[in-house]
Amino acid sequence: MATALAGGAVPAQNARADVRCPLSNAMNDDAVQAAAEALAQKVAGRALSVGEQRACEAELSELRLAWKRNPSAFSPDLLGMLKRIASSLATGAVAHKQSDPVAVLKECFGYDAFRPGQRAIIDTVLGGRDCIGVMPTGAGKSITYQIPARILGGLTLVISPLIALMKDQVDAMTEAGVRATYLNSSISLEERRTRVSELRAGRYELLYCAPEGLEASVGRALNELKLSLIAVDEAHCISHWGHDFRPAYRNLSGLKQRFPEVPVLALTATATPQVTADIVQQLGMRSPARYRGSFFRKNLRLHAYAKGDTLGCTAKEAALAVARSRPGQSGIVYCLSRKTVEATAEFLKKHGIRAGHYHAGLDVDMRSKVQDAFQNDEIDVVVATIAFGMGIDKSNVRFVVHHDMPRSVEGYYQELGRAGRDGLPSDCVLLYSWSEVKAYDRFADASDDDAQAERTRAQAREVFRMAEARSCRHAQLAQYFGEDLAACGTSCDVCQSFELFSKKPARLSAEERAQARAARKRERSESTPAAALDPDLSLFDRLRVLRKEIARERGVPPYVVFSDATLLEMASTRPKTNAQMLGISGVGPTKLEHYGERFLKALSE
């Protein structure tokens, strides 16, 4: 609406979601009349794309807010015009429910095809059926509710424990032209009231909310909102059997009964069959479709090394070697204790690595400062306890090092999954020892819950067993989660040797090596076009500098502007026109309009 008032040509979908539109405050007759007439011209006489439809709905919601604040600015004729606009948009909304999800994916996000599993889940929820999706970290779970949110209209409620991530998620949606907001404990009471009022007026398509919020203002407002979909992210948190149970998630148990006609989509990256069944029961899902994706991510190269003399260096030195092998690239080093976190971060900084540390013992401001610095590429490495990571959606993390053995296979998989979300090759290094198994035993001994203590002991031994095993690491992980996977052939240190530092990994048997050779042959035959790119790396570096400059101007993390994968494709193909830019994976119309001209200029230099 701001642009409609100013007479500009930039559609409302390009306005930042966290910037208040001035229309509802500039409530004079002329401003309202001009905005309504501009909206009428956009709606009249032509079919709107889904993006245009949602942008016009946003402008209409702004006019509703203006009317609530100053009814006298709206004449009977003007109200009649707005009713006709609303009727036209309602008709269009019905038609858009039949939209092709692939076309919406391209228009909104700039991608030509879905990743495995995404389309099946999207089609299920568009059909109005409950669905549970178990997909690995980095598989693009968020797309499975973002595309339906755009097609269905109304409001999609996304419940997530990741308060630290919500603002970045909203920023990413805004950059793509999707109207989104969030409600959690980080915002003031006055701001919360404002956003709830805007939700009632239909301003947003996506609402991110913490489970605790269902007991607060958002919970009370839900009955007044047109809910089209309820998405529960990190759904394993509702299960006592999961590795990260959160009691607040039990607040969700009555949602399906409260909104029986609204489909519920439960999403998680790490759920055994037992946890999956518990999620369905706890959420009250009705005959849900179940999608279980592959746990194999071939761009992640898994390594495991026993600590001690055979490693040839200390764990800190190993972490340093990995960071030095990827200079200037982002990585996470996980440690078991806060003391080790701080010592390791200091060691890395002493040896020239731009590193910060993060653990629950730091105050909120310090944790936010470190997280923001990492998100914005101001530091390269974060050394952290497991308190860090669930609030990170950074696509260009190139390595994850477990300085100490993780407490469970689920936790290990969740943490290593933070690498390589953009599909580019990334390293995941596990350092382990039997002494760490005994340390977890001591934690278990201190517990008053005998059942939980026994689970802690068993989980630690399972991680150790997998690390010691001389079989494909990806296949072991997949088998743990119930998937039968052949040896990866190229993506772990057992199937193919990687010289990260001095120690050489164990080798497969003759039979297993034959399986690995067959897997490598399949890998070559199935290689993606992206693997064949030949980018100009100096141009790639210049594009990264431009990306960071734009990100700073817009107040978003650099990866929200474009991913590394998108920049590499630009540096390889060197598009010269807007049409060629739209052919780059990850470049949609909204981002092209935002900053396409600046990237085209950089590509021509």
The helix or strand, by DSSP H or E, that contains position 426, with its residue range, turns out to be: strand 426-432
Distance of CA 570 to the CA centre of its chain: 23
Mean pLDDT of 35-46: 75
Query: What pLDDT is stored for residue 1 in this prediction?
Result: 34
In the three-class reduction of DSSP (H, G, I as helix; E, B as strand; rest coil), residue 509 is classed as coil
Q: How confident is the model at residue 419 (pLDDT cuts 50, 70, 90)?
A: very high
CA distance 22 to 34: 14
In the three-class reduction of DSSP (H, G, I as helix; E, B as strand; rest coil), residue 304 is classed as strand
Instruction: For 359-374, write each residue's pLDDT tens digit.
Output: 988 888 898 899 889 9
pLDDT over 90 at 169, yes or no: no
pLDDT over 80 at 379, yes or no: yes
CA distance 475 to 182: 38
Q: How confident is the model at residue 301 (pLDDT cuts 50, 70, 90)?
A: very high
Mean pLDDT of 249-273: 86
Residue-wise DSSP of 119-137? HHHHHHHHTT--EEEE--T
Beta strands 155-159; 289-292: pairing state: unpaired
Q: How confident is the model at residue 84 (pLDDT cuts 50, 70, 90)?
A: confident
- Average pLDDT of the residues of the chain: 82
Query: What pLDDT is stored for residue 52 in this prediction?
Result: 74
Mean pLDDT of 191-205: 86
Query: What pLDDT is stored for residue 187 in this prediction?
Result: 84
pLDDT over 80 at 106, yes or no: yes
Query: What pLDDT is stored for residue 71 in this prediction?
Result: 81
Contacts of 167 (CB under 8 A, 6+ apart): 18, 182, 186
Beta strands 206-209; 397-402: pairing state: unpaired
CA distance 450 to 446: 10
Mean pLDDT of 62-81: 79
Q: Which fold has domain 101-292?
A: Rossmann fold (3.40.50)
Q: Which CATH code is given to the segment(s) 532-604?
A: 1.10.150.80
Asked if 268 and 282 count as a contact pair (C-beta separation under 8 A), the reply is no
Q: How confident is the model at residue 244 (pLDDT cuts 50, 70, 90)?
A: low
Q: Which fold has domain 300-527?
A: Rossmann fold (3.40.50)
Q: How confident is the model at residue 19 (pLDDT cuts 50, 70, 90)?
A: very low
pLDDT over 60 at 3, yes or no: no
Instruction: Return the axis-axis angle of helices 409-416 and 450-468, rounded to nearest 10°.
Output: 60
Judged by average pLDDT, the poorest of 85-94, 109-118, 371-380 is 85-94
Mean pLDDT of 16-20: 42
CA distance 178 to 176: 6
The helix or strand, by DSSP H or E, that contains position 402, with its residue range, turns out to be: strand 397-402
In the three-class reduction of DSSP (H, G, I as helix; E, B as strand; rest coil), residue 333 is classed as strand
Query: What pLDDT is stored for residue 27 in this prediction?
Result: 56
Give 420 or 218, the one with higher predicted confidence. 420
Provide φ and ψ at 158, rounded to 5°. -115, 115
Mean pLDDT of 271-276: 82
Of the chain, the percentage scoring pLDDT greater than 70 comes to: 85
Most confident of 72-81, 99-108, 160-169, 473-482: 473-482
Q: How confident is the model at residue 94 (pLDDT cuts 50, 70, 90)?
A: low
Where are any strands of DSSP class E within 39-163? 131-134, 155-159
Of the chain, the percentage scoring pLDDT greater than 90 comes to: 39
Judged by average pLDDT, the poorest of 87-96, 99-108, 432-441, 462-471 is 87-96
Query: What pLDDT is stored for residue 593 in this prediction?
Result: 87
pLDDT over 50 at 479, yes or no: yes
CA distance 93 to 152: 8
Query: What pLDDT is stored for residue 320 in this prediction?
Result: 95
pLDDT over 80 at 47, yes or no: no
Query: What pLDDT is stored for residue 20 in this prediction?
Result: 45
Query: What pLDDT is stored for residue 364 in this prediction?
Result: 82
Query: What pLDDT is stored for residue 309 in this prediction?
Result: 85
Instruction: For 506-554, write each residue's pLDDT tens digit.
Output: 444 455 445 445 544 444 444 444 445 678 889 999 999 999 999 999 8
In the sheet with 155-159, reading across from the earlier edge strand, the strands are 180-183, 206-209, 155-159, 227-232, 264-268, 131-134, 289-292
